[in-house]
Structure 1
Amino acid sequence: MPALPDGEPVPADGALPELVARTAGAETDDASSRSRFGVYVHVPFCSVRCGYCDFNTYTASELGGGASQHEYATTALGEVDLAARVLDAAGLGDRPVSTVFFGGGTPTMLPAGDLVRILDGVRSAWGLAPDAEVTTEANPDSVTPGSLATLAEAGFTRVSFGMQSAVPRVLATLERTHDPARLPDVVRWAREAGLAVSVDLIYGTPGESLDDWRTSVEAALATGVDHVSAYALVVEPGTKMAAQVRRGQLTLPDEDDQAAKYELADDLLTAAGLGWYEVSNWSRGLEQACRHNLAYWRGDDWWGIGPGAHSYVGASDGGAGGSGAADGAAGVRWWNVKHPLRYATLLGRGRSPGAGREVLTRDEAHLERVMLGVRLAEGLDLDVLDADGRRAVAGLVASGLLDGAAAVRGRAVLTRRGRLLADAVVRELTA
């Protein structure tokens, strides 16, 4: 697992930096100018640890000291209470939660009743917006019709299944344990429970052919889902798969192979009526897009519950004196300690589980806004760019990386070729 950055210390009570708290909580005449608020809940347990995974996950069911799966819901609710106190103190506790996302790990390793308890805690702390989106990730072999019905009855609205591939030997390379034939059943169960359904796919697994990838995309579409995420496999240092590649046991595909698979997915998904709304995400319409992830890409506030989870609160551009802009602070990002035992121990002592934080400058926030915003199909308002960035737009249009008609309308929108080279586009726009 990658190491967390050092950052500056998080106070024991978790209080936000004074400058950020003052500007973020400032009263404004326009209530809509305040960022929406989401909650991410990290559940760090899996039945097995896949060789490519570098997420903060653990396979042990009993870690002790409040960190076991059995005690995890109670521990996480301790951080919900802490978050409510911190946001109230900063004048930010009056916003209902727009989106809740349970990720992992495999959240559905916990009993459905435990997930419901955590959601009830979030609802009690802040309330849920009337149209709140509540998602859980799940593996196809970690749910039943009954567990999905329990989640839906409690207020969950979406489930995102980690399908990854429909080809058994590709799943074996990824060390995924589910039977791909089970996917149509779990999608049907979720829909019968009243849940919207998304599936996650991975392309570029060592040994995966273009036909294998076609099989996987077509199998996902055959279930009739309205949302598909397709991510290129990235083999991170320190993972089991990285060691296998280093020893020559596995061979990674080249960039041309990855590009061909992305283009094939885009062709198949588009033909089936799903349009891209973010570089790696397609939905049948914006109503089916993942609003929680859109909130990340658009710069809304969120609190991450759980070991290793990250959080972000942005400073207001206006409000009482506009001091955020004057002093150059654009918000604060922090991250929790990674190990579940340490996380549980700190909360048990009434302390914040924060491991470190960083206060973002306006320049850093600008870079992130461009980097994230340009990935969206809605594009980025050219007025967000500085003078050098705006001058770069014409060259990017000429190179076929940005859409010319959108640029005329004042938006930076990636072409399909631009999606494949999004990082290069961001470098040009922020140079």
Structure 2
Amino acid sequence: MRTHAQSEPSVALYVHWPFCRSKCPYCDFNSHVRERIDQTRFAAALRRELATEAAALGRRPLRSIFFGGGTPSLMDPQTTADLIADARALFDAEPNLEITLEANPTSVEAGALAAFAQAGVNRISLGVQSLDDAALRFLGREHSATQAVAALETARRLFGRLSFDLIYARPGQTLAAWRSELDTALTLVSDHLSLYQLTIEPGTVFEGAARRGLFALPDEDASAALYEQTATVAARHGLAAYEVSNYARPGCESRHNLGYWRYQDYIGIGPGAHGRLTRADGLHATRRHRAPEPWAERVERTGSGTTHDDLLSQQDCAREMLLMGLRLDEGIDGTHFAARTGMALEDALDPAILRAALEEDYLAWSIAPASTRLRATPSGRLRLEALLGALVL
């Protein structure tokens, strides 16, 4: 299990800012609404937790930083600057370190973008979600389409790299309407888009509304048609689907998120943050306390908000790597899989299901002298969740 740490010793840093102005009806992320946020307290706790992690981990190369949430653009930009400076001091930052911050396109948050750029953020990801005002109201968003376009224009001037999110497969959405919205979106972005189908998550407002029959999502065939059209339209604009929900020009992929999908090490700090870290005895999965105030209290008391630190078995690692890696267009390299998990790729798969998936053209298996590679085909990515449930031992 140490082989991976020796050959790929870099880490990424994820910083979770858990606060939002309001809770979106589709969102099941660890986000919290507070009338007042003690910025000083939470900034100090984040910096202390980062220092604790660095002391335990040692000085390793740092490949990326990602500020997520919640709504990290509600964070004081000085906190962002301090955390970036701390990370650079505690780790060996790789050249062209990617530093991403998620933001919403409300006028208040867009007004703070210049301060975040000055703090050291070099990539922005805007939660646009739709360019249609009626859809934005349905999704519970606080901004308008006009505000979204204005925020995108501001972000393009300030940051070297820009991405934004859209949610599609909304109730009643037609192929023609989505094609028009996506064409417009692709004229506004230069290198990267994240395009997510709307799903109903347990415990959300939308779950209750859907259960009461207030709306229905497109059926499986309609969703598949929307997905296929998404890839076609994006490709026409020069953006390829490098992951199930992410599209980019060559070389413009999110390096931070690629690290997740390639099953590389990352540190997660902040309430509810997860991490995956290679240590002397193997790969550990870490998780922080989800609730912001108890997390901060724990950090103030012990230096860390960690509630779980579990050594993963070979089977755990293999399962996670398959679940993540088959989302990527590039798939999973057999040599990397063996180094990371201690198992041969074929030993982690149900042979009968694998054979059937290959015959149905849901998976592609390439064998070369140096390595093997398993990847999901475009038709396989449409069925990935069901396929993985049966395929992975």
- Same structural fold, with TM-score higher than 0.5 when normalized by the shorter chain: yes
What amino acid sits opposite 1:249 in the alignment? L
CA deviations over 1:48-94 (Å, ceiling 9, x no partner): 1111111111221425xxxx24532222112112112222xxxxx12
Residue of structure 1 equivalent to 2:356: 395
Cα RMSD between the aligned structures? Answer: 2.4
Answering whether residue 33 of structure 2 is matched by residue 59 of structure 1, we say: yes
Cα distance in 2, alignment partners of residues 70 and 258 from structure 1: 45
Residue pairs, 1:376-415, within 5 angstroms: 376-381=328-333, 384-386=345-347, 389=350, 392-403=353-364, 407=366, 410-415=372-377
Superposition deviation, residue 392 in structure 1: 4.9
Cα distance in 2, alignment partners of residues 364 and 198 from structure 1: 32
Superposition deviation, residue 213 in structure 1: 2.2
Higher relative contact order (CA 8 A, sep 6+): 1
SS state at 1:331 partner: strand
Contact 1:52 1:239 in 2 (8 A): yes
Contact 1:401 1:417 in 2 (8 A): yes
Contact 1:166 1:215 in 2 (8 A): no
Superposition deviation, residue 211 in structure 1: 3.2
Superposition deviation, residue 413 in structure 1: 2.2
Answering whether residue 120 of structure 2 is matched by residue 155 of structure 1, we say: yes
Residue of structure 2 equivalent to 1:297: 261
Superposition deviation, residue 393 in structure 1: 4.3
Superposition deviation, residue 331 in structure 1: 1.3
Contact 1:108 1:142 in 2 (8 A): no
Residue of structure 2 equivalent to 1:366: 318
Contact 1:206 1:253 in 2 (8 A): yes
Cα distance in 2, alignment partners of residues 237 and 369 from structure 1: 25
Superposition deviation, residue 183 in structure 1: 2.8
TM-score, scaled relative to structure 1: 0.82
Answering whether residue 306 of structure 2 is matched by residue 354 of structure 1, we say: yes
Cα distance in 2, alignment partners of residues 387 and 298 from structure 1: 16
Q: 1:306 to 1:134 in 2, by over 3 A?
A: same
Contact 1:167 1:215 in 2 (8 A): no
Structure 2 unaligned runs (5+)? 335-343
Cα distance in 2, alignment partners of residues 31 and 387 from structure 1: 21
Residue pairs, 1:159-238, within 5 angstroms: 159-238=124-203
SS state at 1:413 partner: strand
CA deviations over 1:141-194 (Å, ceiling 9, x no partner): 166676333333333221011111111111111101111122332222222223
SS state at 1:71 partner: helix
TM-score, scaled relative to structure 2: 0.89
Residue of structure 2 equivalent to 1:319: none
Cα distance in 2, alignment partners of residues 94 and 430 from structure 1: 35
Answering whether residue 392 of structure 2 is matched by residue 430 of structure 1, we say: yes
Residue of structure 1 equivalent to 2:340: none
Superposition deviation, residue 362 in structure 1: 0.5
Q: 1:40 to 1:401 in 2, by over 3 A?
A: same
Contact 1:106 1:139 in 2 (8 A): yes
SS state at 1:347 partner: helix
Q: 1:146 to 1:235 in 2, by over 3 A?
A: closer
What amino acid sits opposite 2:383 in the alignment? L
Answering whether residue 17 of structure 2 is matched by residue 43 of structure 1, we say: yes
CA deviations over 1:226-249 (Å, ceiling 9, x no partner): 111111222112111111112222
Superposition deviation, residue 107 in structure 1: 0.6
Contact 1:37 1:98 in 2 (8 A): yes
Residue of structure 2 equivalent to 1:308: 272
Residue of structure 2 equivalent to 1:259: 224
Superposition deviation, residue 311 in structure 1: 1.1
Deviates more, 1:100-109 or 1:357-366: 357-366
SS state at 1:56 partner: coil
Structure 1 unaligned runs (5+)? 1-22, 88-92, 317-323, 325-329
Contact 1:170 1:208 in 2 (8 A): no
CA deviations over 1:393-419 (Å, ceiling 9, x no partner): 44323212124xx63554222221111
What amino acid sits opposite 2:22 in the alignment? V
Superposition deviation, residue 272 in structure 1: 0.7
Superposition deviation, residue 128 in structure 1: 1.9
Cα distance in 1, alignment partners of residues 169 and 192 from structure 2: 20
